[in-house]
Structure formats: structure tokens, C-alpha cells
């Protein structure tokens, strides 16, 4: 085996995974497949040039932390409150059913009763990393089926924390030990959640309001906030040791709660676009490292049994999820898409198996650990294709599933913007134009990156989105594709090009340009009108000049009204009569 340094390990992983990801995209395959195959090829199972190390394990753990942090940033409590009850009703029986099925399958194969119990406990979760990564890539994380899947995954993560706490304590002496571990974990999760919610109300709003316009500082403080929760979660056993309490809280749970606190702020959507690239980097390392942790002999000891169990589990998971989602009265499409997304065995199943193998005395051996790992890898690899092509699959099978359609299905909370006015950026032209636009439209959405502007826009009764319009998440939430009228006061050609590309052909689009060359370009792309501020200034000056010589009183009233508007500290002051013009 070739030996290289830690820095070289990381370099090889990043370069190999990047090329594998590019190849996967060129072949129309999910990037996760490329990352997992990279780990197989360069790891002990393949050519063996990279082995697990402290740095790769740390980066992999950070990958899951960043993934859960990004997920937390997307979870506004107001948007998921109506789903909490059905998620609880689905997740508990789902885990019980799949756990029993996993136990039964293992018991029919050459595994002992104790090993079958661990296998059942390891296979009952779905993969947080796979599901969230695929939902994010497809833009479905905030869809109804995406929110349901994410909620179930979080419920499963809580159960994982509890099981890991029990396994970390070794073989329990009785039901009392299990109950104690369960109680401690629930108290820790509740306390951390309460701290996150309290911070989102009393600490973070004033902090982020002060720094939101400094994009670099804003990003660094947000990441620091994540690492505070990661540190506390990782060291909770050390913190509680002086009082004689043994406890365990997953880093992933802490990361999610850190994101959840930020999600309740108006700056969360902008932060999503900034965290995404960093998350992708660490998640890439995570999927590569999954295949670095085992030897070929252990991985393939039960390869035939692993194939049988993997196929049976994927079928069983779809049936169980479909039945439970249908029971909770979700529409047919949501039920199908939500079920298809949860077919795989989780990376946390491998973590549970590792904990069971490292227990003193161990519950399972390295060959059983390899079996569980192989089942997880196979189901992950296959399930990404089901998620990638879930809509096409639904169209194929919908005629056969109509008998399960609900007459009065659960609907998502709230609706997206449609047939509305979208205003990008705030400036002097916007300030005057909005008054005219509100006479024609009931729904006006303003996107801006100035905190004071956002506060004033919201105070004036309009919806405001804090963030940079170049981020896809901001554009999606602003409803670019569904707007009836779009007015961009940005002179950045890149922004306006993106806007015109994504806007519907039926949408009326007014944009600003700094030069005549840019104006020509924007007209070629389909702009209905390109605003040239210097030209408007010339027109306004000519009108004033004519009034000065023909109607001095009208001129003086117009100048006085303009000065009052310019000197006002309000972003939306009451517009006064400017002689010769209509009142706004």
C-alpha cells in the first residue's frame, strides 16, 4: 500500500472526488455516486492510496454538521408547525415497523438473535446526508414532501442519539439503565432547543442587524455560531462529568439547532447561498470517507445476504412510508415522492453498527459491521436514482395508484407568490415607483441587501426579502418565474441577465442600465423597458426648466416637494402635490 501524508490524503480525495463528480454530471448521474465510488477506488477496498485518518474523519463529520446546519437555516418554525403532528405519527411506527422487518430478515439469515437486534436497530433510519443533498440539488427541500422527509429524518436522528447513548454505556444491566439514558438525552435535546429558540428571539436579531451588510463578517459570525453548538454538543459529556452524569448529544443535532435559530431571522435566506459551497465541499469528503472505513474482506463477508436484505428493505420501506403518509391524508403525489425519497439505509446506521462493534463487550463483529455497511452503501447508491427521477417515476405509476388518492388531502402552509410585483433593490426611483405599482397590484415583494431598507419596506406593509438576488434561493422565494411585473433598480448587468432569463415571457420587465451598450444587451434579452438614470435626469431637468420660465409657482412647488422628499429620513414618506403632476 502506498503511504502518503495527511495533507496529501485530503488533496487526493478532493481532486479524485471533483473529477468523479464532473464525470457523473457529464453522464447524467447523481454526484453522490461519483463520490462513493471514489472512496471505493482510492480506499483500502481499491488501490489503497488513502486510508482513514483524523483529518478525513474530522472533515467528514463537519460535512454532516454543515449539511444539518444548512437544513436548519431553511426550517422556519411557522412553515413546519402544521406538519409536526403527522411527522411524529409517521416516524414512530415507521421506525418500529422497519426495525422489526430488519430483525426478521437478519434472523432468517446466519445471524444470532443479538446480532439481528443490532441489524434491526441499524437499518430503520433513512440517510440524512443522501436525502437532504438530493433535495437541495433538485430544489425540493422546501416542497411539501421535502419538509415531510426532513421532519421524519430529524425524528430518526433523535432516536439515533438515544440508541448511541445506550450503546456507549455498554450492555445495560436492566430497563432502568435504558430509561435513565433516554431521559438524559431528551432533557439535553429539549434544553438545547430552548436555548436556540431563545437566542433567535433575544440575541441574534440585534447581533445580525449590526453586521448583516458586511457580508464577510456576517458569514464568519454565522459559522462561529454553528461551531458554538457543535462544540457544546461534542463536549456535553465533559461538561456534565463533574456532576456525575454520562450523556451523549450528536454534533449533527447541535448543528441543526444552530441553523434553526438563524432560520427565524430575515437574513437566513441570504446565508443559505453563502453556506452552500462550503457545505458541498465537506459533504463531498463525507461520502468519499464512507468507503474508507472498511477492508474488502469484512465488507464482502456476507455480500450475497447483503443484496437480498438491501432489495427487501427498499421495497419494505417504500410500502411502509407510502401506507403511513397515505394514512395521514397527504395527496397522492406527495405520498409517492415522500416515500421514494426514504428507501435507503442511513449513514447513521453504520454509526450505530460501529458503536455496537466497539462496545465492551461487542454486540457484533467486524464481518457483521461490514454487512450493515454494504447494505447501506447499496441502498444509498440505488436510492439516489429514485430521488433523481422521482417525478418521472410518479408519472409512470400514477394511473395504478389513483385508488389511494385522498378526497381532501393535507395542503402546504401558505402559497407561493404569483401574479405579483417583484422589485429588486431600493433607490430613489424605486421609492417613487412603488407608490404607483401598489395602485395596480395587491402583492409587492422587494429584495434588498440593506437592513434599514428591509425594515422600512416591511413597515410600509410590503413583503421584503433580505439577500443577494444572484442566489437561486432568493430568486425562488421571490417568485421570479410567476411575477406579473418586475422592476430591477440594479445596474449590475449580471443580475438583470439572470432576471430576464428566468422571468416568464408574459412578465413585464423594467430594468436599469448604466450604459447604452448594456441597454442594447438587455433589450435583446427581452426587457420591456430599460431605465437610463442619466436620461431620466435630463428629461426631469428640461421639465423644470420649462416650468421655471412659464410657470414659476409650479416650479417652486415642485422643487420644494423634491427637497422635502430627499431630506426626509423616511424611505416611504407621504408624497405631496407636485404642481402639474398626479399625486402618488
Do 131 and 278 share a domain, yes or no?
yes
Q: Is the previous residue joined to 361 through a cis bond, with omega within 30 degrees of 0? A: yes
Cell of 422: 417583484
Q: Report the CATH number that the domain containing residue 69 is assigned in CATH.
A: 1.20.1530.20
Mean pLDDT of 491-515: 87
Which residues are registered as beta bridge partners of 423? 446, 487
Per the domain annotation, does 1 fall within a domain? no
Per the domain annotation, does 337 fall within a domain? yes
Is the confidence at residue 566, as pLDDT, over 60?
no
DSSP tag of 402: G
Per the domain annotation, does 414 fall within a domain? no
Do 245 and 293 share a domain, yes or no?
yes
Domain containing 121 equals 8-401
CB 495 within 8 A of CB 488: yes
Q: Report the domain count for the chain.
A: 2
Do 395 and 492 share a domain, yes or no?
no
Q: pLDDT tens, 180-214?
A: 767 777 787 788 888 888 888 888 888 888 887 78
Cell of 400: 395504478
DSSP tag of 410: B
Which segments of 300-406 does DSSP mark as H helices, in order? 303-327, 332-340, 347-358, 366-388, 390-401
CB 80 within 8 A of CB 305: no
Question: Bigger pLDDT: 253 or 520?
Answer: 520
**Domain final residue, candidates 370, 401, 432:** 401
**CA separation for the pair 484, 443 (Å, rounded):** 10
Helices 144-168 and 128-138 cross at an angle (nearest 10°) of: 160
**CA separation for the pair 504, 419 (Å, rounded):** 11
| pLDDT of res. 146 | 85
Q: Helix count (H) and strand count (E) of the chain? A: 27, 6
- In a 13 Å sphere around the CA of 353, the CA atoms on its Cβ side amount to 28
Which residues are registered as beta bridge partners of 485? 421, 508
| pLDDT of res. 473 | 67
Q: pLDDT tens, 434-471?
A: 877 887 888 888 888 777 777 778 777 788 887 778 77
Q: Is the dihedral of CA 45, 48, 50, 52 positive or negative?
A: positive
Per the domain annotation, does 215 fall within a domain? yes
Do 427 and 381 share a domain, yes or no?
no
**In Å, what is the CA distance from 459 to each residue of 454, 486, 570?**
8, 21, 11
CB 124 within 8 A of CB 95: yes
Per the domain annotation, does 576 fall within a domain? no
Do 286 and 168 share a domain, yes or no?
yes
Is the confidence at residue 1, as pLDDT, over 70?
no
Is the confidence at residue 72, as pLDDT, over 70?
yes
- In a 13 Å sphere around the CA of 279, the CA atoms on its Cβ side amount to 25
Mean pLDDT of 419-429: 83
**CA separation for the pair 126, 258 (Å, rounded):** 22
What string of H, E and C letters represents the secondary structure of 52-69? CCHHHHHHHHHHHHHHHH
Q: Which residues of 234-264 are buried (b: 16+ CB within 10 A; e: fewer)?
A: bebeeeeeeeeeebbbbbbbbbbbbbbbbbb
Residue 581 CB neighbours (<10 A): 13
Per the domain annotation, does 336 fall within a domain? yes
Among 315, 321, 350, 355, which residue's Cα sits nearest to residue 335?
321
Per the domain annotation, does 575 fall within a domain? no
Secondary structure element (H or E) that encloses residue 148, with its range: helix 144-168
CB 426 within 8 A of CB 489: yes
Do 195 and 296 share a domain, yes or no?
yes
Q: Report the CATH number that the domain containing residue 464 is assigned in CATH.
A: 3.40.50.720
CA 7 to chain centre: 30
Do 532 and 442 share a domain, yes or no?
yes
DSSP tag of 411: -
Do 333 and 444 share a domain, yes or no?
no
Q: pLDDT tens, 326-351?
A: 998 888 888 999 999 999 998 778 77
Q: Which residues of 326-337 are buried (b: 16+ CB within 10 A; e: fewer)?
A: bebebbbbbbbb
Per the domain annotation, does 413 fall within a domain? no
Helix (H, G, I), strand (E, B), or coil: what is residue 94? helix
Do 374 and 477 share a domain, yes or no?
no
Do 311 and 430 share a domain, yes or no?
no
Do 247 and 390 share a domain, yes or no?
yes
| CB-count burial class (<10 Å; 0-12, 13-18, 19+) for 185 | buried
Per the prediction, the chain carries an average pLDDT of: 80
pTM above 0.75, yes or no: no
Do 353 and 443 share a domain, yes or no?
no
Amino acid at each position: 500500500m502506498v503511504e502518503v501524508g495527511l495533507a496529501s490524503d485530503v488533496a487526493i480525495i478532493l481532486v479524485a472526488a471533483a473529477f468523479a463528480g464532473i464525470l457523473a454530471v457529464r453522464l447524467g448521474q447523481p454526484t453522490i455516486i461519483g463520490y462513493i465510488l471514489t472512496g471505493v477506488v482510492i480506499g483500502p477496498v481499491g488501490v489503497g492510496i488513502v486510508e482513514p485518518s483524523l483529518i478525513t474523519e474530522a472533515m467528514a463529520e463537519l460535512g454532516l454538521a454543515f449539511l444539518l446546519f444548512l437544513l436548519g437555516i431553511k426550517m422556519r418554525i411557522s412553515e413546519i408547525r402544521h406538519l409536526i403532528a403527522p411527522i411524529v405519527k409517521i416516524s414512530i411506527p415507521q421506525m418500529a415497523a422497519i426495525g422489526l422487518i430488519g430483525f426478521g430478515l437478519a434472523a432468517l439469515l446466519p445471524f444470532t438473535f443479538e446480532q439481528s437486534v443490532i441489524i434491526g436497530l441499524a437499518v430503520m433510519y433513512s440517510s440524512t446526508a443522501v436525502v437532504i443533498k438530493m433535495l437541495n440539488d433538485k430544489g425540493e427541500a422546501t416542497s411539501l414532501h421535502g419538509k415531510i422527509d426532513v421532519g421524519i429524518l430529524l425524528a430518526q436522528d433523535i432516536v439515533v442519539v438515544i440508541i448511541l447513548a445506550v450503546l456507549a454505556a455498554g450492555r445495560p444491566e436492566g430497563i432502568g439503565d435504558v430509561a435513565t439514558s433516554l431521559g438524559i438525552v431528551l432533557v439535553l435535546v429539549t434544553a438545547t432547543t430552548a436555548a436556540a429558540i431563545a437566542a433567535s428571539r433575544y440575541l441574534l436579531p440585534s447581533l445580525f442587524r449590526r453586521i448583516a451588510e458586511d457580508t464577510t463578517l456576517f458569514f464568519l459570525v454565522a459559522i462561529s455560531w454553528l461551531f458554538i453548538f457543535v462544540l457544546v454538543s461534542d463536549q456535553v459529556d465533559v461538561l456534565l462529568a463533574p456532576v456525575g452524569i454520562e450523556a451523549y448529544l450528536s454534533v449533527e443535532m447541535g448543528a441543526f439547532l444552530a441553523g434553526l435559530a438563524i432560520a427565524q431571522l430575515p437574513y437566513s435566506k441570504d446565508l443559505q447561498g453563502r453556506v452552500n459551497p462550503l457545505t458541498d465541499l465537506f459533504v463531498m469528503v463525507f461520502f468519499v470517507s464512507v468507503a474508507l472505513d472498511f477492508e474488502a474482506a469484512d465488507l464482502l463477508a456476507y455480500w450475497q445476504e447483503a443484496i437480498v436484505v438491501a432489495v427487501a428493505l427498499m421495497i419494505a420501506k417504500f410500502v411502509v412510508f407510502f401506507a403511513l403518509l397515505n394514512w395521514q391524508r397527504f395527496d397522492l403525489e406527495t405520498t409517492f415522492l415522500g416515500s421514494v425519497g426514504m428507501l435507503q439505509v442511513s449513514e447513521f446506521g453504520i454509526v450505530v453498527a460501529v458503536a455496537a462493534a466497539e462496545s465492551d463487550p461487542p454486540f457484533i463483529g467486524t464481518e457483521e459491521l461490514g454487512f450493515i455497511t454494504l447494505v447501506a452503501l447499496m441502498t444509498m447508491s440505488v436510492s439516489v436514482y429514485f430521488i433523481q427521477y422521482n417525478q418521472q417515476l410518479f408519472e409512470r405509476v400514477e394511473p395504478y395508484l389513483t385508488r389511494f388518492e385522498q378526497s381532501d388531502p393535507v395542503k402546504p402552509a401558505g402559497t407561493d407568490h404569483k401574479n405579483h410585483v417583484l422589485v429588486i433593490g431600493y433607490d430613489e426611483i424605486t421609492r417613487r415607483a412603488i407608490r404607483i405599482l401598489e395602485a395596480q397590484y395587491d402583492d409587492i415583494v422587494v429584495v434588498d441587501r440593506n437592513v434599514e431598507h428591509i425594515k422600512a419596506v416591511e413597515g410600509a406593509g410590503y413583503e421584503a426579502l433580505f439577500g443577494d438576488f444572484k442566489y437561486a434561493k432568493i430568486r425562488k422565494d421571490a417568485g421570479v418565474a410567476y411575477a406579473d411585473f418586475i422592476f430591477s433598480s440594479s445596474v449590475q448587468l449580471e443580475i438583470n441577465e439572470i432576471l430576464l432569463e428566468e422571468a416568464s415571457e408574459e412578465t413585464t420587465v423594467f430594468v436599469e442600465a448604466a450604459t447604452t451598450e448594456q441597454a442594447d444587451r438587455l433589450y435583446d434579452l427581452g426587457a420591456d423597458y430599460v431605465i437610463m438614470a442619466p436620461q431620466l435626469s435630463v428629461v426631469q431637468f428640461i421639465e423644470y426648466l420649462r416650468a421655471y420660465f412659464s410657470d414659476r409657482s409650479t416650479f417652486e412647488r415642485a422643487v420644494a416637494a423634491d427637497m422635502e422628499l430627499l431630506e426626509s429620513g423616511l424611505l416611504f414618506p407621504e408624497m405631496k402635490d407636485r404642481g402639474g403632476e398626479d399625486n402618488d
